[in-house]
Structure 1
Amino acid sequence: MPCSQRREDPMTSLITVNEDLNQFHLTNGRVSMILKVVEGKLINLYTGAAVPDRADFGYLVDDGFRVQATTADEHGELHIEQSRQEFPEYGRGDFRGPAITVLQGNGSRITDFRYAGYRVAPGKPELEGLPATYAVSTPDDTGAETLSIDLVDDLTGLTATLNYTIFRDEPVIARSVRIANHGDEPVAIERIASLNLDLPDDDYEMVEFTGAWAREREPHRQPLHPGVQSVASMWGASSPYFSPNALFARPDTIEDRGEAFSLSFVYSGNFDLHAEVDAYGATRLQLGINPAGFAWRLAPGESFQSPEALLGYTDRGLNALSQTLHRIVLDHLERPRWARRERPILINNWEATYFDFTEEKLLELARLAHRAGIELFVLDDGWFGRGDHARTSDRAGLGDWIANPERLPEGIAGIARKINEIGMRFGLWFEPEMVNRATDLYEAHPDWVIATPGRESAVYRQQYVLNFANPAVVDHIYERMHAILDGANVAYIKWDMNRFITEAYDATRGAEHQGEVFHRYILGVYALYRRLLAAFPDLIIEGCASGGSRFDMGILAYSPQIWTSDDTDAVERLSIQYGTSYFFPVSSMGAHVSITPNHQTGRSESLAMRGSVAMFGTFGYEMDLTRVGEDELDEIARQVAFFKEHAPLLHNGDLYRLRAPYDHRQAAWMVVSADRAHAIVGDYVILGVPNRHKSRLHLRGLDADAMYRVTTAPGPGLGPDDALRGRLGYSAEDEGIGAETTGTATSAESGTDTKAAPITPGVVRSGAELMHIGINDTNIGPDFASRLYLIDRL
Structure 2
Amino acid sequence: MKRIEIKENNLNMVYEITDENEIKLLHFSNLPFDENDINSCEGTASFRPVEVLLSGLNRPGERHGTKYTYTAPGYRLKYKDMKDYRNETGRKLEILMEDKPTGLEVCSNIQFYDGISVIRSWTELKNNGEEDLGVEYVSSFALLGIDKEGLLSTDEKLEVLIARNAWQKELIWNRFSMDQLGMSISQPDKVRRSSQTISVGNTGNWSTKNYLPMGCLKNKETDSILFWQIEQNGSWYWEISDQDGHMYLQLSGPTEHQSHWWKNLKPGDTFASVPVSVGSACGDVEEAAGELTKYRRAIRRKNEDNEKLPVIFNDYMNCLWGDPTTEKELPLIDKAKEAGCEYFCVDCGWYSAGFWWDGVGEWLPSKERFPGGLKEVMDYIRSKGMVPGVWLELEVMGIKCPKADKVPDDWYFMRHGKKVYDRSRYQLDFRNPEVIAHATEVIDRLVNEYGVGYIKMDYNIEPGIGTELNADSAGDGLLGHNRAYLKWLDGIFVKYPDLVIENCSSGGLRMDYAMLSRYSIQSTSDQEDYIRYATIAANSPMALTPEQAAIWSYP
Per the shorter chain, which TM-score range? 0.7 to 0.9
* The 10-residue stretch of structure 1 (551-560 or 578-587) with the greater mean CA deviation from structure 2: 578-587
CA displacement, residues 134-157 of structure 1 (integer Å, 9 cap, x when unaligned): xxxxxxxx4411000111111121
Of the candidates 290, 300, 304, which is equivalent to residue 323 of structure 1?
290
Residue in 2 that maps onto 1:86:
49
SS of residue in 1 equivalent to 2:76: coil
In structure 2, distance between residues paired with 1:51 and 1:498: 46
Provide the residue aligned with 1:444 in structure 2: 406
Q: Determine the C-alpha separation between the residues in 1 that align with 2:520 and 2:419.
A: 38
Asked if 1:398 is matched to 2:365, the reply is no
In structure 1, the residue matched to 2:497 is 537
Give the counterpart of 1:344 among 285, 310, 314. Answer: 310
- Residue in structure 2 matching 1:380, options 347, 351, 370: 347
Tell me, in whole angstroms, the C-alpha distance in 2 between the residues paired with 1:306 and 1:48: 23
**1:161 counterpart = 2:115:** no
Q: C-alpha offsets along residues 332-362 of structure 1, whole Å, 9 cap, x if unaligned? A: 1221224741232011111321232321321
With a CA cutoff of 8 Å and minimum separation of 6, indicate the structure with the bigger relative contact order. Answer: 2
**Letter of the structure 1 residue corresponding to residue 430 of structure 2:** F
For 1:55-454, list aligned pairs within 5 A. 64-65=40-41, 80=45, 83-89=46-52, 91-93=59-61, 95=63, 97-98=67-68, 112-123=76-87, 142-199=88-145, 200-201=147-148, 202=154, 203-224=157-178, 225-226=183-184, 227-251=196-220, 258-278=223-243, 280=245, 282-291=246-255, 292=258, 293-330=260-297, 332-338=298-304, 340-351=306-317, 352-384=319-351, 390=352, 392-409=354-371, 411-445=373-407, 447=409, 448-453=411-416
Give runs of ≥4 in structure 1 deviating > 6 Å.
Answer: none
1:49 aligns to what?
A: 30
Cα shift at 1:587: 1.2
Partner of 1:37: 17
Matching residue's letter, 1:36: E
1:534 shift after superposition: 1.1
Write the distance in 1 (CA, Å) between the matches of 2:311 and 2:74.
56
Q: Output the amino acid matched with 1:290.
A: P
CA distance in 1, matches of 2:263, 2:551: 39
Tell me the CA shift for residue 185 of structure 1.
Answer: 1.6
The one-letter amino acid of 2:227's match is S
Please tell me whether the aligned partners of residues 425 and 461 of structure 2 are also in contact (alpha carbons under 8 angstroms): yes
Distance 1:557 1:391, change over 3 A: farther
Mapped partners of 1:477, 1:268: distance in 2: 18
Deviation at 1:327, TM superposition (A): 1.4
Query: Does the C-alpha gap of structure 1 residues 111 and 185 become closer, same or farther in structure 2, counting only changes over 3 Å?
Result: farther
CA distance in 2 between partners of 1:524 and 1:180 (Å) = 21
Q: 8 Å contact 1:87–1:100 — kept in the other structure?
A: no
- Listed as ranges, the gaps of 5+ residues in structure 1 are 1-20, 67-77, 103-108, 124-141, 385-389, 595-606, 608-794
Q: Which runs of 5+ in 2 are unaligned?
A: 54-58, 149-153, 185-195
Measured after TM superposition, the shift of residue 32 of structure 1 is 0.8
- Residue equivalent to 1:658: none
Q: Give the superposition deviation at 1:188.
A: 1.8
Secondary structure of the equivalent of 2:553?
strand
TM-score of the superposition, structure 2-length normalised? 0.87
Aligned residues: 519
Rounded to whole Å, the distance in 1 between the matches of 2:401 and 2:173 is 41
Other-structure match for 1:744: none
- Offset from partner CA, 1:605-649 (integer Å, 9 cap, x none): xx5xxxxxxxxxxxxxxxxxxxxxxxxxxxxxxxxxxxxxxxxxx
> What is the CA distance between 1:179 and its match in structure 2?
0.6
Report deviation, 1:315.
Answer: 0.9
CA offset digits 1:275-294 (Å, max 9, x no partner) = 112362x1110111131300
For residue 393 of structure 1, report the CA deviation from its aligned partner: 1.8
Which entry has the higher C-alpha Rg, 1 or 2?
A: 1
Q: Which residue pairs with 2:461 in the alignment?
A: 499
Say what the alpha-carbon RMSD is for the aligned residues.
Answer: 2.5
Look up the SS of the partner of 2:404 in the other structure. helix
- 1:2-52 per-position Cα deviation (integer Å, ceiling 9, x unaligned): xxxxxxxxxxxxxxxxxxx65433322512111122222221222222549
Q: Aligned equivalents of 1:171 and 1:422: distance in 2?
A: 45
Contact 2:421 2:463 in 1 (8 A): no
Deviation at 1:438, TM superposition (A): 0.9
Of 521, 545, 552, 2:481 maps to: 521
Residue number in structure 2 paired with 1:549: 509
Structure 1 Cα separation of the partners of residues 22 and 276 of structure 2: 21
Shift of 1:262: 0.4
Structure 2 vs 1, CA of residues 454 and 177 (structure 1 numbering), >3 Å: closer, same or farther?
Answer: closer
> Contact (CA 8 Å) 2:141, 2:251: kept in 1 or not?
yes
Identity of aligned residues (%): 21
The answer on whether the counterparts of 1:194 and 1:306 sit within 8 Å (CA) in structure 2 is yes
Matches of 2:213 and 2:287, distance apart in 1: 20
